[in-house]
Amino acid sequence: MDEISMTRRLLAEPPPEPDVVAEGRLRLLAVAARGDRRTRRARPTSSTRRIAVRRSVALGLTGALVAAVLAMTTLAPGDGTSPGGGGTQIADGSARDVLLAAAVRAESVPTSGAFWHVRSSSTTTWPNELGRGDNRYTVEVHSVTELWTTREGQTWWGQREWVTPKSPEDEAAWRRDGSPSKWCMGKRDTEPPRSNCLHTAPGTASLTRVGQDTFVVVEGRELTFERLQQLPDEPVALRDWVFDAVEDDLDPSASAGILDDNVAEVLANLLVDVPAPPGVRAAAYRALAGMPDVKSIGATRDELGRAGVGILIDTEGIVVSRGGPHNEGKLTHKLIIDPDTSHVLARQANVGEDADPVSGTLILEVGWTDEEPHEPEQP
């Protein structure tokens, strides 16, 4: 099966069990580096790079269309407070200016606490209509996810999910259908098989111990916390490490667009999913500032009304075709960044000119904390 067909099928499937989600998300975390680096090959230019397709599904596709749905999140304060919500007036600068300003702020983020904690929320549209007869309606799946990771790499993944009708018309049809609070659709592909059900608020919650006490940085590679702290804090060196790791995970066939998209995706993830030290996160911002096809769309706000600057990362040569409301088109990543605090407030992936994103995540809390792992509460 080709990667586009795999992506289309994945988007139409029901969500997996929380432990599967947690393990899968860890497998999609950003590439950083590995300690036993091989002798570096001469870096290909955009005109001489080989054309490539990822051995499984290109990270440029899964990173945006899957990882974001599984609550990709980003840098935030060490005391666990919500990103955004204050600060000075944000300048409508270039992407480079915004990212470099965020890099300066990232260097001073606190690092005390027992757990690296990420709390985020996302909303996606369930791909199939629910209801009976003329009372058919579409629901949105709301998810709050939390990740706690110790300095030894022990990780807990918490998730709460619930659904609501998507529009007033959908709510009216849901009420005519008897206002059901639960929908079950067969069994999940688990051992033992479990019912595949959707629930209205407060939904269902879980807390799962996951991981192998290391930080997954790319398929087949993991770093201990100590090794994570040793990543380059200089942007060119960090980008080279990321490029090496990305290239190693590709078949020998790659366009410049696919390689650059992989590198940009990994650098963005380094701001988020693993407790990289402040210098490394600052280097990731500076490396992104030097990437091609990165531009600013100026001052904007996320869905919570928090002010930031929109950064677009175009994916040259990556075209996604999917059913439903999204047509075939180029995949674009969007970050909303508060350069005054270095926080990424929100992240989206769009296909073509669609205003409605394929996936999106709001970052609620991220940073070092002494808060113990627990099932997420409903906002």
Per-residue pLDDT tens digits for 343-363: 889 988 777 665 566 678 898
Cα→Cα distances 24→9, 53, 200, 226, Å: 17, 20, 25, 23
What confidence score (pLDDT) does residue 215 get?
A: 79
The per-residue pLDDT for 262 is 79
Distance, in Å, from the CA atom of 267 to the CA atom of 317, rounded to the nearest integer, reads: 19
223: which DSSP letter?
E
Q: Assign 60 a pLDDT band (cuts: 50, 70, 90).
A: very low
| Helical segments of 232-361, H only | 235-248, 256-270, 278-289
| Number of domains observed in the structure of the chain | 1
Higher per-residue confidence, 1 vs 17: 17
Q: In this structure, is residue 21 part of a structural domain? A: yes
* Angle between the N-to-C axes of helices 95-106 and 278-289, in degrees from 0 to 180, rounded to the nearest 10: 170
Q: What are phi and psi of 105, to 5 degrees?
A: -65, -35
The pLDDT of residue 199 is: 96
Mean pLDDT to the nearest integer, 57-74: 32
pLDDT number for residue 23:
42
In one-letter notation, the amino acid at residue 265 is: E
- The reply to whether the predicted model has a pTM over 0.75 is no
Which range among 43-47, 103-107, 203-207, 303-307 shows the weakest confidence by mean pLDDT? 43-47
Strand segments (E) across 235-378 = 294-301, 307-320, 329-338, 343-351, 359-369
> What is the percent of the chain with per-residue pLDDT over 90, rounded to a whole number?
35
pLDDT of residue 348: 83
Task: Give the residue numbers spanning the domain of 41.
Answer: 3-369
Does 260 reside within a domain? yes
> Which comes out higher in pLDDT, residue 283 or 83?
283
CA–CA distance, 105 with 109 (Å, rounded to integer): 7
Question: How far apart, in whole angstroms, are the C-alpha atoms of residue 256 and residue 314?
Answer: 12
Of residues 165 and 3, more confidence is placed in: 165
Query: In the predicted model, what is the mean pLDDT of residues 62-74?
Result: 33
User: Strands across the sheet with 139-150, in order?
Assistant: 204-210, 155-165, 139-150, 115-125, 359-369, 343-351, 329-338, 307-320, 294-301
Is the pLDDT higher at 24 or at 361? 361
Please compute the mean of the pLDDT values over residues 167-187 and round it to a whole number.
94
Which helix (H) or strand (E) segment holds residue 187: the answer is strand 182-187
Q: What is the mean pLDDT of residues 157-177?
A: 97
Is 374 within a domain? no
| Window from 16-20, 28-32, 194-198, 215-219 with minimum mean pLDDT | 28-32
> What is the structure's pLDDT at 164?
97
Q: Where are the alpha helices (DSSP H) in the chain?
A: 3-12, 18-27, 59-62, 95-106, 168-176, 225-228, 235-248, 256-270, 278-289
Output the pLDDT for position 42: 39
144 domain residue, yes or no: yes
Q: What is the mean pLDDT of residues 322-329?
A: 49
Tell how far CA 266 is from the center of its chain. Answer: 10
Residue 379: inside a domain? no
Residues in the chain: 379
Sign of the alpha-carbon dihedral angle for 250, 254, 260, 262: negative
The pLDDT of 110-122, averaged and rounded, is: 92
Instruction: State how far Cα 181 lies from the chain centre.
Output: 29
Highest mean pLDDT among 135-139, 152-156, 291-295: 135-139
In a domain, 74, yes or no: yes
Q: Which amino acid is at 111?
A: T
Nearest to 263 by CA among 234, 294, 299, 308: 294
Residue 376 resides in a domain: no
Predicted confidence at residue 49, as pLDDT, reads: 32
More confident residue, 25 or 52: 25
Say which range, 78-92, 171-185, 316-330, has the weakest mean pLDDT. Answer: 78-92
Any domain includes 378: no
- What CA–CA distance (Å, rounded) separates 107 from 286? 11
CA distance 223 to 152: 11
Whether the pLDDT of residue 32 is over 60: the answer is no
